[in-house]
Amino acid sequence: MNSIIEIENLTKDYEIGFWKKKKVRALDNLTLNVEGGQIFGFLGGNGAGKTTTIKILMSLIFPSAGNARILGYDISDVKMRQRIGYCPENPYFYDYLTARELMMYFGELFGLDKAKSKQKTEELLTKVGLEEASWNKQLRKFSKGMLQRTGLAQSLINDPEIVFLDEPMSGLDPIGRREIRELIADLRKNGTTIFMSTHILSDIEALCDNVAILRKGKLAAAGKLDDLLTSQGENQSFEINVKGVSAENLQNAVSKIAGSSLTAKPSGATIQIIDENDVDKVLQTVKKAGGKLVSIQPVKQSLEELFVEKEK
Ligand SMILES: Nc1ncnc2c1ncn2[C@@H]1O[C@H](COP(=O)(O)OP(=O)(O)OP(=O)(O)O)[C@@H](O)[C@H]1O
Ligand SMILES: [Mg+2]
């Protein structure tokens, strides 16, 4: 598979203090490859190094060591810039421009002619859910969520092949988040690769194909989200849902299975076991008691658990 983002041993030390003598390591030898056509979640708690990485990829700051390539170009190569989009964390623009003017300005920067720029502006401002009444308002009068939406629209004006979104859902209300979630999913459908940082777990679960988890500037885990959530062998358990039989009637038999647990449900019961080989035993017990099987599922570790585990 060909990676369209290649990050190799990236390290970043911020120099702090008046004499810039003290160093803070924000990113520590990060190596990561991202393939095209997907939504890639770049995860980590506050201060983990997500924004630092994205800023390096955008050449807004420079790495202390290591390098990176996007679409095969070194990140310092401006030719690549035409083909990507970027929405910063807490986007902040020229206060006295209106949303429409800002979009037209970025359109021109990317070499779109006026007509095309106007068409993309209107299409994108609509898509990100900004009401037409606010298109001609100065950005200083915008709320946080409105600025976030404008930033997102701006990052898409050149129909980028890859778009880098730093916390795209921050500042949005629940409806706004759902709208932007749908917009991001649509982008992928149309072939855009999305590289997004976030710590909102439900958004990650709903959107991301692959993820990388950063912890204190280091890569703590990377891979397919599904695999990361199931690969915890020792924690793996199975949940058996049954109906037409009460938990009371099963209690005796189920309590004999090591590591099992039983929960009463309105229409039946849920039995949790840790050994796959005990499934038959449970099913026989249920059948004998006159119950029916509804479902058997492996219990996945939740993303929250994974996140916390890697954060330790
Ligand atoms: N300009 C700077 N000068 C000094 N240290 C910085 C600077 N920017 C970031 N850092 C430090 O680098 C580390 C990583 O910060 P970064 O902003 O990349 O984290 P993040 O993962 O984006 O966090 P958040 O989820 O809060 O946005 C932090 O310890 C932070 O304090
Ligand atoms: Mg950040």
Residue 265 shares a structural domain with residue 177: no
Residue 135 lies in a domain: no
- Report the separation in Å between the CA atom of 209 and the middle of ligand 1, taken as the mean of its atom positions: 25
Claim to verify: residue 80 and residue 175 sit in the same structural domain? yes
CATH value at residue 9: 3.40.50.300
- Max intra-chain CA distance, the chain: 78
| Ligand 1 first shell, C-beta below 6 A | 14, 16, 24, 26, 44, 46-52, 89, 199
Do both 84 and 183 map to the same domain? yes
The total of structural domains in the chain comes to 2
pLDDT of 223: 92
Written as six digits, the tokens of 82 are 């035409």
pLDDT tens readout for residues 150-198: 999 999 999 999 999 999 998 888 888 999 999 999 999 999 999 999 8
Same domain (yes/no): 76, 184:
yes
Residue whose CA lies nearest to ligand 1 atom number 4: 14
In a domain, 86, yes or no: yes
d(CA 114, CA 101) in angstroms, rounded, equals: 12
Final residue belonging to a domain, choices 193, 212, 230: 230
The pLDDT value recorded for residue 157 is: 96
Q: Which atom of ligand 1 is nearest to the CA of 214?
A: 21
* Same structural domain, 82 and 179: yes
Rounded distance from Cα 50 to ligand 1 centre (Å)? 8
Same domain for 165 and 88, yes or no, is: yes
SS3 309: helix
Domain span including residue 289: 234-300
Model pLDDT for residues 76-86, shown as the tens digit of each residue:
999 999 999 99
Q: Is residue 112 part of a domain?
A: no
255 and 208 share one domain: no
Are residues 24 and 81 located together in one domain of the fold?
A: yes
- Cα of 49 from ligand 1 centre, angstroms: 6
pLDDT for position 105: 94
Same domain, yes or no: 72 and 155: yes
* Angle made by CA atoms 52, 56, 59, in degrees to the nearest 5: 140
Q: Give the pLDDT confidence of 223-261 residue by residue, as tens digits.
A: 998 888 765 555 578 889 999 999 998 998 889 988 889
Q: Do both 225 and 254 map to the same domain?
A: no
